[in-house]
Structure 1
């Protein structure tokens, strides 16, 4: 990976159309047909999750899994609970999936990326530091937006609960003309917010982080999220802050840290 450059943009503050665009999409439903190849990929993930819990026991309860996120321990088990699944969206070469899987060994962690070239590097020795790939780590090639919609169907049907959703260093689309390609200015954003109890975005562009946080606030204010997931009736805690990772979890994060770039994260957490 070449040296990490800072984000260059012709945008110096929050996008002027942010609120208008986010409110519009908060009031609508994204209806693009889901690609067959993503349905097939999702079915592979379903199989992995079922086999993981068949071998390792019952899925964690929502509250137990939330405590696992706070305490770094696997969630409690209950026969009637939805299956807890953690998503690592846009995982790239999959290094972050390994780190997350080690933090939560009792929960399947699904790394998702659209690039076969990147995913072919997942689990290589340079990522595992001589250790075995965690048994709860699984990588799949899929289109994120379609995968999220299928995952939300499982959440709404109480088949899954997603206690933690990692969205690390997505393409920031820094040109103002590309702004509607950013996750938070896309019709998919209400779906993204409805998926997880805790969503963590990481980026090296402060404007992207602040836009993401503000867009989340707007969507919840609109209450449009309640049409997508009825259990999201409470206001989340939204934090946007700079951070300095002691142990970088992705190649990008490592390069940014070495280049002494300021890193940002947004946490959108629903109270339990």
Structure 2
């Protein structure tokens, strides 16, 4: 076999190794923020707008610890409204600093007059000890938190997160780099219901709004966020793994590379082909 064909075959094997990761993908998100050039939703459902000078840096959202993104009102009937019986959010992040609690994603509805409980519905936060927390609240009467162990997240490293609210099984699941790091099963047989269409409900990236009868922004994130996706379904563990592996190589902070075992396997395969070529 001519050497040029062996070379072409080797190139195809390498390309295939990257392409296979995209052959299996999670369910289609209802919202997708890839931050290629701006804060728009590539699914054309709910664009974000910025406060405090958030920026797009090399196709990634850059937040400075006082900036954040927020959507317009996302409540209302399908297809424009976001329902909560089953819900998932995922994305990549890189923290520049971790002080106290910092928010990757949150969603909250309007504070009602006389309320004594902040009405955040969903939130994913990273704590200064390197732990993650995924929180879901169905009503003002209960809240279920999935909290990981400490030391999982460090600054200047890139991670993939996914938070799943599985209303069908009354379970919250939290993932980091495709691995389940925390879960909690609550005893409340009460899926998170849609609020009245007149109720204002918004999504936030990089901050949480937990005011009582007024806006109160806190737990700002300092770092980069990319490929943030919102699903109106409870992602399975395999869905999360597929989402993580299919998109990790696209993230610029830092540029991801194949796993060492994958590289060695490809080198071995090319070596075998070259040896056979010499015999021909």
User: Would the TM-score normalized by the shorter structure come out above 0.5?
Assistant: no
The structure whose RCO (Cα within 8 Å, separation 6+) is larger is 2
Q: Please give the TM-score of this superposition, normalised by the length of structure 1.
A: 0.29
Bigger radius of gyration, 1 or 2? 2
Specify which structure has the higher proportion of helix.
1
Normalised by the length of structure 2, the TM-score is: 0.29
Give the strand-richer structure, 1 or 2. Answer: 2
